[in-house]
Structure formats: C-alpha cells, structure tokens
Copies of this chain bind each other. A is one copy, B any other.
C-alpha cells in the first residue's frame, strides 16, 4: 500500500502524482500544509518538505526526485517502453537535469514565490507568515517566468518530448510545475505556441485528470485551466 503526503500547490507533489498515475498506482493521499509543522509529519520528514511517500511499513521516501528514483527502481524498471526514465546513463542524466530544472531552479526562481504570495499567505495565520502579498516578490517571479517559458519553448521546438523522443520524468516535472502556474493564470501561452502544444499533449493524458479536477479553496483557476483544447 502506498500513501502520499502532498499539497495541491506543491510542484514536486504534482510531479509524483503524475508518475504514480502513469504507472497505474492509486495511493492514499494525505494533504499536508507544511507551514503547520504537524508533529506526525515532522517525524516522517524533519525537513518538513513535500512530497513524502510511504510504502507498506517501509521508511519514508522523501522529496520529488528521491521518490522518482524509488519508483523507477521498484516500478519503472518493469515498464519496458513505458518506463519514464531512459535506459542509458547519458540519457538518464539529461532527464534528471530537466527534472532538477523544473523542481529546483524554476521552484527557487518562480513557483515558490507565486504560490507563497498568492496562495499560502491567504491560508497562513499571521504568526505562520500570513498576510498581504509582497508585490515586489511577485514582480520578480513573473520576470523570471518569461525566461523559463522561453526555455520550455526552445526545448519543445528542438525535441518531440522535453528530454527527447519519449515521454519522461522531464515532461511530468515540467508540466506538474507549470500546471500550478497555469492555475494561477500566470502563463502567457500565446507567446510560446510550441510550449503550449507540448503542454496540451501532456495535459490530455489520463494521469493529469485528477489534477485538473482539483480546486484550491477560495481561489478559482484561470478559465482555460481544465480545457484540453484552448
């Protein structure tokens, strides 16, 4: 049995949910608000970061990239042409580079700020860091996002899927993170038509449906969010 501790606005959580969906796994979900530092959750992961996966009575598997490696070793390796991590070391390195790009670099330059300022601060109490959004943090994140979208456009132009010929972890990490920014209406898709075409292909996969159906309390998504043809 699998249990995933996650949050709908955590990019790494969305990435892992997509991977589990592609591999046909249906975990139990436990939503965590990491800023609350729930005692049982800190015992699982003293870093208080998401996601955390528990399989049966095994130890916690902590973090998006670590869970992805675990799922490759326990599921992916048996998936033949549906495996989401390539076979050759150099190709695996390229998939992993892009996963880090979207779960670390995009996160540190864009996603973390927009989610904190526009979503989490509404839900946090004042002593947890809640309050009005910081306009300068939002502005800086939006400026950074333009560069990232240009890079996604360049990847989509150069390759069939982001890391090469096949759907891989790179596509799921990128689309998981971008789907959060899209929910918030932050992405100017018309400026990057090839990125949009690629995103529509990922978004149309059955593994994406649960994410598109989900709503954040008090915050409606942009009108095209769940459209498969926008």
A63 B151 Cβ-Cβ under 8 A: no
B residues near A65, Cβ cutoff 8 Å: 65, 96, 100
Give the contact stretch, choosing among A26-34, A67-75, A179-187, A194-202: A67-75
Given A46-B151, A69-B69, A62:B93 Cβ within 8 A = yes
Interface size on A, residues (CB 8 A): 28
- Known A49-B105, A58-B90, A59-B94; 15 more pairs at CB < 8 Å: A47-B101, A59-B90, A59-B93, A61-B90, A62-B93, A62-B97, A62-B100, A63-B97, A63-B100, A65-B100, A66-B100, A69-B93, A70-B89, A70-B90, A104-B104
A92 at the interface (CB under 8 A from B): yes
B residues near A67, Cβ cutoff 8 Å: 93
Count the copies: 2
Nearest chain-B residue to A45 (Cβ)?
Answer: B97
A143 vs chain B, min Cβ distance (A): 17
List residues of chain A with CB under 8 Å of any chain B CB: 46-47, 49, 58-59, 61-63, 65-67, 69-70, 73-74, 89-90, 92-94, 96-97, 100-101, 104-105, 108, 151
A193 vs chain B, min Cβ distance (A): 21
A70 B47 Cβ-Cβ under 8 A: no
B residues near A94, Cβ cutoff 8 Å: 59
Given A47-B101, A105-B47, A92:B73 Cβ within 8 A = yes
A49 to B92 CA separation, bound complex (whole angstroms): 19
B100 A73 Cβ-Cβ under 8 A: no
Sample (15) of A-B pairs whose CB atoms are under 8 Å apart: A47-B105, A49-B105, A58-B90, A59-B90, A61-B93, A62-B93, A62-B100, A63-B100, A65-B96, A65-B100, A69-B92, A69-B96, A70-B89, A73-B89, A104-B104
B residues near A105, Cβ cutoff 8 Å: 47, 49
A61 to B96 CA separation, bound complex (whole angstroms): 9
